[in-house]
């Protein structure tokens, strides 16, 4: 089982030199990382980063992985120039830092990116995935945005979620059994709310023995015993996108 000692192990790949296969672009007021597949496609995925921001190598690695599966993939800077969290920061200041970066205040940026994907990239069917902070943003967007077709929330921190479960679009929730930040009791409560209120297809899946950040861990940071579940999580994410896009 993964046993990282840091407060949030989803930054674990930032020691990697992975630079990405895509390019950085300016989309109106937002910087973004975009990668396109060799063959033309009208399917795209917006990637919403975690607290470590849009430049984290782990997140670019997954963005590129989406491209190898045939999607235009774009990871915008949803902090819009504000500094991402750094592992060296004082965790005692985290709550104050977070107050200026609300996962449910992403609508304006998403609308800008949707317009760019449609007009500049020819995308007609667009989904969204997000990690941690970004997973909470996916939950919000699945409640609010009529233009997105589907979403995958990867270990979205449930305490950041809005208290609503009337999803507009099919949504897949990925959780880690040993997540220090998301208790299994919280996941159970989410499932109960979805069962009561949700009228679209959803799935909640818990991956045994895994810790926060497991799906977008870099290759060199994966323990052999976790590899099966990490690969399963990535495959499940792609299968979900393939089904609804």
What positions carry a catalytic annotation?
Answer: 132, 179, 212
Q: Two tokens at 186?
A: 């919280």
Cβ atoms of residues 46 and 67 within 8 Å: no
Report the sign of the C-alpha dihedral through residues 146, 147, 151, 155, in that order: negative
**Residues 6 or more apart whose Cβ sits within 8 Å of residue 118:** 124, 126
Residue 5 CA to its chain's centroid (Å): 22
Q: What is the dihedral of CA 194, 197, 200, 202, to 10 degrees?
A: 0
Q: Two tokens at 195?
A: 């069962």
Full DSSP string of 162-183: -S----SS-EEEEEETT-SSS-
State phi, psi for 155 to the nearest 5 degrees.
40, 50
């Amino acid at each position: 089982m993964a046993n990282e000692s840091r407060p949030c192990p989803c930054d674990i790949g930032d020691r990697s030199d992975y630079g990405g296969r895509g390019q950085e672009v300016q989309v109106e007021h937002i910087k973004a990382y975009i990668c396109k597949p060799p063959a033309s496609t009208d399917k795209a995925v917006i990637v919403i980063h975690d607290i470590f921001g849009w430049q984290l190598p782990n997140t670019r690695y997954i963005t590129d992985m989406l491209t190898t599966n045939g999607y235009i993939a774009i990871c915008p800077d949803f902090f819009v120039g504000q500094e991402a969290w750094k592992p060296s920061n004082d965790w005692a200041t985290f709550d104050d830092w977070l107050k200026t970066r609300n996962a449910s205040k992403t609508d304006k940026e998403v609308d800008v990116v949707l317009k760019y994907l449609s007009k500049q990239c020819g995308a007609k069917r667009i989904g969204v995935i997000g990690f941690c902070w970004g997973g909470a943003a996916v939950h919000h967007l699945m409640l609010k945005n009529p233009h997105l077709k589907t979403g995958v929330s990867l270990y979205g921190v449930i305490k950041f979620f809005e208290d609503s479960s009337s999803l507009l679009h099919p949504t897949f929730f990925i959780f880690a059994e040993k997540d220090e930040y998301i208790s299994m009791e919280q996941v159970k409560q989410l499932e109960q709310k979805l069962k009561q209120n949700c009228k679209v297809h959803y799935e909640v899946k818990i991956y045994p023995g895994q810790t926060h950040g497991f799906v977008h861990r870099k290759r060199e940071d994966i323990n052999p015993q976790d590899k099966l579940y990490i690969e399963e999580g990535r495959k499940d994410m792609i299968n979900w996108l393939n089904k609804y896009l």
